[in-house]
Amino acid sequence: MQNCKNGFSTKITAASLLVALGIIYGDIGTSPLYVLRAIIGDKPITEELVFGGISCIFWTLTIQTTVKYIWLTLQADNQGEGGVFSLFSLVKRYRKYLFFIAILGATTLLADGIITPPISVASAIEGLTIVKGLQQLPTVPIVIIIISALFFFQRFGTHQIGRAFGPIMAIWFGMLFILGITQLTHYPGVIKALNPYYGYKLLTNYPEGFWLLGAVFLCTTGAEALYSDLGHCGKKNIRITWVYVKISLVLNYMGQAAWALHSGGNFLLGRNPFFQIMPHWFLIPGIIIATLATIIASQALISGSYTLINEAVNLNFWPRIAVRQPSEIKGQIYIPSVNSILWFGCVLMVLYFQTSEHMEAAYGFSITIAMMMTTILLCYFLYYRLKWNKIYVYMVLFIFGIVETSFFMANVAKIKERWKFLFFELSIFLVMYIWYKARKINNRFISFVELGKYKQQIIELSQDDAIPKFATHLIYLCKADKRHQIEEKIMNSILAKKPKRADVYWFLHIHRTEEPYTLSYNVSELIEDKVIKININVGFRVQPRTELFFKRIVQELIANKELNLHIRPDGSTKYNKEPDLKFVIIEKFLSVENEFTLKDGLLLKSYFFLKRFGLSDEKAFGLDKCDVKTEHIPLVYQPVSNIELFRDERSTAKNIV
């Protein structure tokens, strides 16, 4: 998706409001296609059921979406960016266990999102079956074709068609408004359904009314996306457009309720109130507009999934994978592996559930968990970053805890419809958990040394003509963020076995910042004209093109006549004008000398297994293969200590003189 910071102004203008409509509200905006139908189901249509359902929808949108997300959560912007990982970055220093909360929130948001394109597109396409002559139309192939085409075109970027998203969604919400108000003018008594008493009565007096919260919850499933997409347009644009969006949604729900009570008969009998309130002459245009709106909702989910996984990679929650930039627009990315997984999952959903009505029975369970995790992280943000009084924070936790726990309990019943899908969610969670925890273990075995201790050795090595020159400029990627320190394994690589002679030794540290789009650097000359350290600060949404960054920095240093680089040779010759650069990457492998406990063994073996499927460091850090040398060193985590080895003197051969 296009980013308002890079192509649109975050100021409040007609254009920025239109863009917000097109980007932010796809998921929550298409919920009228299926929510009231899910609430009524095959139950008798009564005033108690319909009024209670509308009341619950209105107050869910008010409490959960307006208060929690539009007012509270949008305050937790990380340099203008939102989402569970952005929120985690703001509060991770305050409690160690918050990484678990972030992983669970991201996993459930990503996993349950696979149902969004199928249920949205299927709900729209199924409207064709009420058109005369199309009653027997097979909708499943059409839905699969539309979804497959959507995923296929991701590789080319959405910057061109993205410009049409705003106008299309503006038409969509205008249609919701008009359809709803048309019905409401005929039956204005439906307005009293906004009274919370009807919702309370439904949940307490109606037979199994509490469990209807699972269907009611579908009206707010897109609320988490409002925060995730914060960086696209800014909180002010989101808050202003939400007024129009909420009015359109509520009016349409009430219009559907008016039809159900006065024209729907005793049962729905498979009919969808959304399409029933359309005039017959408007059915085809209405279905086309609905289909376009659901495609936009699906696009928002797909773009959000790319962003989520990209942040997970940069925050060390996910193995490094190939990330493409299909356009020059900052923030727009394409991840082939994620695209394939999402496409496969969506097609599987369509084939497994067949109809949107069946999907409703499985939709929403994981989103409740994602919202609960956001609530926990939000409370830490309110207390530690906004300095709220602890009593107010507890009140927020209590109110949303009660609301979201109720939704979760009601959605637990959906597990029987989606238990097979839990394996997919568990897989995502385990990958994130294993990668994060194993890297923590890996980092414990990194030891640092003072560069000053090796000053004389490095100078002598660089000037020793008896040793073949390894490279003119030798560059190591290092984790030491302190100016005078370096990993011990790097010094061993330079000095041990076959020493690596070079004219200039560079130590390059990539520092992932908590801000999303930071890109800055600083330079320290540790040994004059011989050892130089560069720290590059890279935001967690920026792709690390390390070799490009390094060459650009060296060019600036030469242009500014710093560090004497402008007067020394760079290794280029009359035969080749390219500078003589060599990057060295040191990778660990699991040593056979380890003897693990069951937990650590599973964790580390799984980590190195997953590493095979990820990108190599040279690709992940943006290095040209011809300029890289990779060295492998063993990781000895729990060395075997109980070996008892005895020499058998009787079988020892005697020396023959």
Q: Give the model confidence (pLDDT) of 636-656 as tens digits.
A: 666 666 666 667 666 555 555
Euclidean distance between the first and the last CA atom of the chain, given in angstroms as a whole number: 83
Burial class of residue 33 (count of CB atoms within 10 Å of its CB; 0-12, 13-18, 19+): buried
- Give the pairing of strands 581-590 and 628-635: parallel
pLDDT for 504 equals 86
Element holding 524 (H helix, E strand): strand 519-527
Whether residue 626 has pLDDT greater than 90: no
Provide mean pLDDT across the span 288-301.
Answer: 88
Q: What is the DSSP string of 593-617?
A: TB---HHHHHHHHHHHHHHTTS--H
What is the pLDDT, as a whole number, of residue 404? 92
Q: Could you tell me how far CA 170 lies from the centroid of its own chain?
A: 26
The pair of structure tokens assigned to 19 is 């863009």
* Residue 51, both tokens: 């009024």
pLDDT of residue 3: 41
Rounded to whole angstroms, the Cα distance separating 112 from 402 reads 22
Residue 342 near residue 381 (C-beta atoms within 8 A): no
* Structural contact between residues 543 and 330, judged by C-beta atoms closer than 8 angstroms: no
Cβ-contact 238, 226 below 8 angstroms: yes
Residue 533 forms beta bridges with which residues?
507, 524
Report how far apart, in Å, the C-alpha atoms of 409 and of each of 120, 235, 361 are: 24, 31, 14
CATH topology classification for 4-437: Amino acid/polyamine transporter I (1.20.1740)
pLDDT of 130: 83
Least confident range from 110-114, 236-240, 422-426, 468-472: namely 110-114
d(CA 501, CA 513): 33
Distance CA 376, CA 643 (A): 48
Instruction: Say what the pLDDT of residue 625 is.
Output: 65
Rounded Cα gap, residues 145 and 394, in angstroms: 48
Sign of CA dihedral 93, 98, 104, 109: negative
- Whether the per-residue pLDDT at 515 is higher than 50: the answer is yes
Selection from 247, 174, 224, 176 nearest residue 65 by Cα: 224
Express each pLDDT in 464-492 by its tens digit.
888 888 888 888 888 877 778 888 888 88
Domain map of the chain by residue range?
4-437, 448-635
Consecutive H or E run containing 88:
helix 84-91
How far apart are the C-alpha atoms of 76 and 73, rounded to whole Å?
5
pLDDT at 640: 61
**Average pLDDT, stretch 254-262?**
92
265 pLDDT higher than 70 = yes
Which helix or strand (DSSP H or E) is residue 485 part of?
A: strand 485-487
**pTM over cut 0.95:** no
pLDDT at 6: 41
CA distance 4 to 2: 6
| pLDDT tens-digit series, residues 135-147 | 778 889 999 999 9
Give the separation between CA 216 and CA 39, rounded to whole angstroms: 7
Q: What angle do CA 384, 390, 395 make, to 5 degrees?
A: 115
User: In terms of Cα–Cα distance, which of 164, 183, 166, 161 is closest to 245?
Assistant: 166
Taking the C-alpha atoms of residue 291 and residue 300, their distance in angstroms, rounded to an integer, is 14
Residue 423, SS3 per DSSP: helix
Mean pLDDT of 7-21: 70
3-state secondary structure of 590: strand
The single-letter DSSP state of residue 174 is: H
Segment 249-275 mean pLDDT? 89
Of 182-191, 268-277, 594-603, least confident by mean pLDDT is 594-603
